Amino acid sequence: MGEVYIAAVGLTKVDLTGSIFGNVFDLFQSAYRRALAESEVREFDALQVGIMHAEEFESRANIAAKVADRLGLAGIPAVRSETASSTGAAAFHEACYKIRSGAASSVLVIAGERMKTVTTQVATEIMSKTVDPVERRFGFTMPALIALVTQAFFQRRGVHGARVADVLSRLMFRAHALGADNPLAAFAGKPEPLAAYFDETRNLPVATPLRRKDCSPICDGAAAIILSDRPQAVRVAGLGAATDTASLLDRVELDSLAATRRAAAFAFHQAGVADPGALEGLVVESHDAFNSLLPLNLVDLGLSDPEQALEALIGGARGVDPAADPYAHPWSGPSGHRPVNLSGGLKSRGHPVGGTGLGFVDVFDTRGRLVQRLESGPWFNAPWGVVLTPGNFGEFSHAILVGQFRGGTIAAFNPVTGRFMGNVLNPDGTAFNSPGLWALQFGAGNANSGSATTLFFTAGPGGEVNGLFATLTPVAAELNEADEL
């Protein structure tokens, strides 16, 4: 089996605006030119392209051959790899196998995604197609599934209550502090203070316990790697890949990713490493599309004990203690025992996966067939109670109302199109809000159940310690021409 060496690497600036690259070919060409400028290898036996959703983000098919043509490499074999969010790694693996087998002496690997062609909502819908069909039918998205993994990991580690947000805020601080000094990062020059995590007006919930600042942003970016069988400064010592059940809920445990453990075992065995925890001079770049995945990955990779994973990244500070300087951390900082994600990781450097509002609301017919999905967005914050309004309920007559358990607001939707119409308002124009909002129900129009235009609701304020039963009625038109509540 032949050796594989890395001759050069080229990375684009990760773009949050969608304005730097005109199309996916411009994106890939930028990464290719950066790699070529650093490489003595200028000719390639094959091209391996990694891209997830060229058809939906770019409306382009047969993308590998077209990339070869645009890069001036027409004639060499070009193959596309796609394995969801590990697509780039899969392309790298396939290229290495070609060299190791002797089928090629040099291979260009180029991978990336141009996602800013669509809105965050549409991008999340596209990415959700990677989720198991049964789980997706019930509204699961990738952020929602990672939230379940996060809950299980924290529960096993004994992280509960306010400590959860405390840990996540410090992981966010770490990522942005390092990414701020990476000129190619999406958030270059933009560190985040701990207080930013607790600003509920901007750091909106995504899927408990994750919030927007726990999720990597939707962005455009690409990388190119030139591989060769000729000795270079960097050798590929080991490779590993593995899979798990497509359904997260079919897995034996949720606080660990078994595929990561298996892939790491393959790679370390191939590299002749018996004890990864004892490796000296190791620098780690781990896939952390969500902040909470970083400590979990360190455990699954065998690089940290479960009890020490969090402290290895954020130190022992808690509560009102200031965030530890990641540059000075004795374990994971640049001069530490095991530097981790010095690029800022996917959260700060950027990654084509993002989160939207917490939850979805789907409409089914009486035979269990999906009819439509109500428009998702930041107005969803743990949707709970659902009710159809009567015909004399102000501007939201004949609308679908959805109460938000966590947010306390009530969102209105067009029952035909599913489009968001707005939030139910108080007479002063502010959004109605009742924390811990539970059921919604209109009266039946008789003395026993109340008026048909009276909306009854229940809630559990104070973290569900207390109980509330109350009503909402439309404001008279002569008092408020907008018919707000």
Q: What is the pLDDT of residues 256-291, one digit of tens each?
A: 999 999 999 999 999 999 999 888 889 999 999 999
Q: What is the pLDDT of residue 479?
A: 36
Query: What one-character DSSP code corresponds to residue 367?
Result: T
Selection from 454, 450, 484, 304 nearest residue 390 by Cα: 454
β-pairing, 362-364 with 370-373?
antiparallel
Q: Where in the chain is the domain with CATH 3.40.47.10?
A: 5-119+220-255, 121-217+274-349
Q: Is 212 helix (H, G, I), strand (E, B) or coil?
A: helix
Kindly tell me the burial class for residue 123, based on how many C-beta atoms sit within 10 Å of its own C-beta (0-12, 13-18, 19 or more). Answer: buried
What is the residue whose two structure tokens read 């679908």? Answer: 400
Question: Residue 371 CB: number of other CB atoms within 10 A?
Answer: 9
Say if domain 5-119+220-255 classifies as CATH 3.40.47.10. yes
Contact at 8 Å (CB) between 427 and 476?
no
Tokens of 340: 């981790």
| Cα separation, 17 vs 217, whole angstroms | 11
Q: Where are the alpha helices (DSSP H) in 327-466?
A: 345-349
Kindly tell me the burial class for residue 356, based on how many C-beta atoms sit within 10 Å of its own C-beta (0-12, 13-18, 19 or more). Answer: buried
Cα 230 to Cα 4, 8, 107, 300, distances in angstroms: 8, 12, 12, 33
Residue type, 398: H
Contact at 8 Å (CB) between 197 and 164?
no
Q: What is the pLDDT of residue 463?
A: 62
Q: What is the pLDDT of residue 478?
A: 35
Kindly tell me the burial class for residue 274, based on how many C-beta atoms sit within 10 Å of its own C-beta (0-12, 13-18, 19 or more). Answer: exposed
For helices 142-157 and 293-300, the axis angle rounded to 10 degrees is 70
Strand runs labelled E in 202-322: 205-207, 210-211, 220-228, 234-235
| Cα separation, 235 vs 394, whole angstroms | 69
Question: Residue 53 CB: number of other CB atoms within 10 A?
Answer: 20
Alpha carbons within 13 angstroms on the beta-carbon side of residue 152 total 17
Q: What is the pLDDT of residue 375?
A: 81
Contact at 8 Å (CB) between 214 and 181?
no
| Cα separation, 325 vs 309, whole angstroms | 17
Q: What is the pLDDT of residue 283?
A: 92
Selection from 263, 296, 265 nearest residue 149 by Cα: 296
Q: Name the region of 470 (left: φ>0; alpha: ψ -120 to 50; beta: rest).
A: beta
Selection from 100, 98, 102 nearest residue 46 by Cα: 98
Which uninterrupted H or E stretch holds 5?
strand 5-11
Q: Is 373 helix (H, G, I), strand (E, B) or coil?
A: strand
Q: What is the pLDDT of residue 24?
A: 92
How many residues are given for the chain?
485
Cβ neighbours for 179, distance < 8 A, ≥ 6 positions apart: 185, 186, 187, 188, 190, 343, 344, 345, 347, 348, 349
Cα 303 to Cα 94, 122, 262, distances in angstroms: 26, 37, 14
Selection from 42, 46, 39, 38 nearest residue 108 by Cα: 46
Strand runs labelled E in 360-423: 362-364, 370-373, 383-388, 400-404, 410-413, 420-423
Which residues in the chain land under pLDDT 50? 352-358, 477-485
β-pairing, 220-228 with 5-11?
antiparallel
Alpha carbons within 13 angstroms on the beta-carbon side of residue 476 total 2
Which uninterrupted H or E stretch holds 268?
helix 258-271
User: What are residue 110's DSSP bridge partners?
Assistant: 49, 224
CATH code, residues 121-217+274-349:
3.40.47.10
What is the residue whose two structure tokens read 């009276």? Answer: 454
| Cα separation, 302 vs 151, whole angstroms | 21
